[in-house]
């Protein structure tokens, strides 16, 4: 997939109805908002991971890694999804194909013919309209704000649950993302009518939230400049010996994007670039108790996991061979 506009927003419906936050901005609320790329949005919202076997992926993350995984449902494009939800409303979304004939021409099928892994992320903004207004004068060609009307079971009229803004063409190395603004009022009203919906955010490994999404790039300096041109702010530079890379943080609300450039040809980042090219390589997930997370991993995977000092604290690294093409770092 080249960008988020064609596919990812349509799959979000099943997950967004799980979440309610009265403190978040509302679509069309009319309240004054800071004119910037994200406004008061929380930034990293969700990550889309494409897998060849959704049942197997669920089993891996639930049984071996200790996440609570919830099946979301099927979609007309011939795909279905599952999700892992976190306390801050962020989530991981897994997408697989259930009807190969329907999905044959979809970009999901094209991606999965080569590999599994993450191929997109949504960034939460407080105002999709203001995000578009921020980008357009800077020369970026965007689509949106685009709405999706959804008719919940029992409702008489369709409701607008979100607005999205996406790029017509890729604008940063390896970056596949779109911006999303949720209609909190509509979601809360839906939640009241469906009280059985649960957040499912208590995980055996004590996972709490997505801290950062890793993006492997060939030229770190050029990538940083591309993100800054969009209105992001570059943060600290970090050395990541476990990955054989130099990283540079890009602030994105409460979380961030970690750009990675390989140190040498035999590093994990170099291997990823060779097999996949520039793109989303991994994710750092904060846990409440690293000791508990380690116990879950070692019991499930049947091997030792040695803690190390990572970019965000004491960490454990789960290789992409176990996690459907996505490196997963758990840290406290």
Residue 225: pLDDT above 50? yes
The domain that contains 122 carries what CATH number? Answer: 3.10.180.10
Mean pLDDT across the chain, nearest whole number? 86
Half-sphere exposure of 330 (CA within 13 A, CB side): 28
Residue 200 lies in a domain: no
Phi-psi region of 166 (alpha: psi -120 to 50; beta: other; left: phi over 0): beta
pLDDT for the residue numbered 159: 67
State both tokens at 158: 């369709």
pLDDT for the residue numbered 196: 57
Domain identity same for 51 and 115: yes
Domain boundary (142, 158, 193) is at 193
pLDDT for the residue numbered 29: 43
Residue 201 lies in a domain: no
C-beta of residue 91 within 8 angstroms of C-beta of residue 15? yes
The residue among 276, 296, 279 whose CA lies nearest residue 288 is 296
- 304-320 mean pLDDT: 96
pLDDT for the residue numbered 20: 38
pLDDT for the residue numbered 97: 95
Residue 328: pLDDT above 50? yes
Q: Worst-scoring range by mean pLDDT, 14-18, 73-77, 96-100, 155-159? A: 14-18
Residue 28: pLDDT above 60? no
pLDDT for the residue numbered 107: 85
Residue 1 lies in a domain: no
Domain boundary (139, 168, 193) is at 193
Domain identity same for 259 and 123: no
Domain identity same for 211 and 139: no
Domain boundary (193, 224, 252) is at 193
Residue 137 lies in a domain: yes
Domain identity same for 152 and 186: yes
Angstrom distance (rounded) from CA 278 to CA 214 = 11
pLDDT for the residue numbered 3: 41
85 DSSP assignment: E
Residue 253 lies in a domain: yes
pLDDT for the residue numbered 286: 98
Domain identity same for 95 and 225: no
> Range of 67's domain?
8-193
Domain identity same for 77 and 184: yes
Percent of the chain with pLDDT strictly greater than 70: 83
64 DSSP assignment: I
Q: Worst-scoring range by mean pLDDT, 44-58, 83-97, 171-185, 292-306? A: 171-185
pLDDT for the residue numbered 173: 92
Domain identity same for 187 and 213: no
Domain identity same for 178 and 224: no
Angstrom distance (rounded) from CA 182 to CA 25 = 8
Residue 79: pLDDT above 80? yes
pLDDT for the residue numbered 92: 96
Residue 33 lies in a domain: yes
pLDDT for the residue numbered 4: 40
pTM over 0.85: yes
Residue 199 lies in a domain: no
State both tokens at 256: 């961030």
- 60-71 mean pLDDT: 96
Residue 323 lies in a domain: yes
Angstrom distance (rounded) from CA 84 to CA 167 = 26
User: Which residue(s) pair with 245 in the sheet?
Assistant: 240, 262
Domain count for the chain: 2
């Amino acid at each position: 997939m080249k960008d988020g506009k064609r596919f990812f927003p349509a799959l979000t419906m099943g997950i967004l109805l799980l979440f309610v936050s009265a403190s978040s901005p509302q679509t069309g609320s009319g309240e004054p908002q800071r004119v910037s790329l994200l406004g008061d949005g929380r930034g990293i919202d969700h990550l889309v991971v494409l897998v060849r076997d959704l049942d197997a992926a669920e089993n891996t993350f639930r049984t071996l890694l200790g996440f609570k995984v919830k099946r979301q449902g099927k979609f007309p494009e011939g795909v279905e999804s599952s999700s892992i939800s976190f306390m801050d409303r962020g989530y991981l979304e897994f997408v697989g194909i259930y009807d190969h004939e329907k999905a044959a021409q979809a970009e999901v099928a094209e991606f999965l013919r080569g590999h599994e892994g993450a191929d997109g992320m949504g960034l939460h903004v407080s105002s999709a309209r203001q995000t578009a207004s921020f980008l357009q004068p800077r020369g970026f060609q965007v689509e949106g704000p685009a709405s999706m009307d959804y008719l919940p079971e029992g409702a008489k009229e369709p409701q607008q649950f979100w607005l999205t803004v996406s790029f017509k063409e890729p604008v940063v190395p390896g970056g596949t993302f779109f911006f999303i603004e949720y209609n909190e009022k509509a979601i809360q009203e839906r939640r009241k009518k469906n009280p059985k919906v649960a957040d499912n955010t208590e995980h055996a490994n004590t996972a709490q939230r997505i801290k950062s999404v890793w993006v492997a790039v060939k030229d770190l300096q050029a990538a940083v400049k591309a993100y800054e041109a969009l209105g992001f702010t570059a943060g600290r530079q970090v050395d990541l010996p476990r990955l054989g890379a130099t990283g540079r943080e890009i602030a994105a609300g409460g979380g961030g994007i970690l750009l990675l450039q390989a140190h040498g040809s035999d590093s994990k980042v170099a291997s990823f670039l060779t097999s996949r090219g520039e793109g989303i390589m991994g994710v750092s997930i904060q846990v409440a108790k690293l000791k508990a997370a380690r116990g879950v991993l070692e019991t499930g995977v049947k091997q030792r996991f040695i803690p190390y000092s990572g970019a965000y604290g004491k960490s454990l690294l789960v290789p992409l061979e176990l996690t459907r093409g996505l490196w997963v770092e758990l840290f406290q």
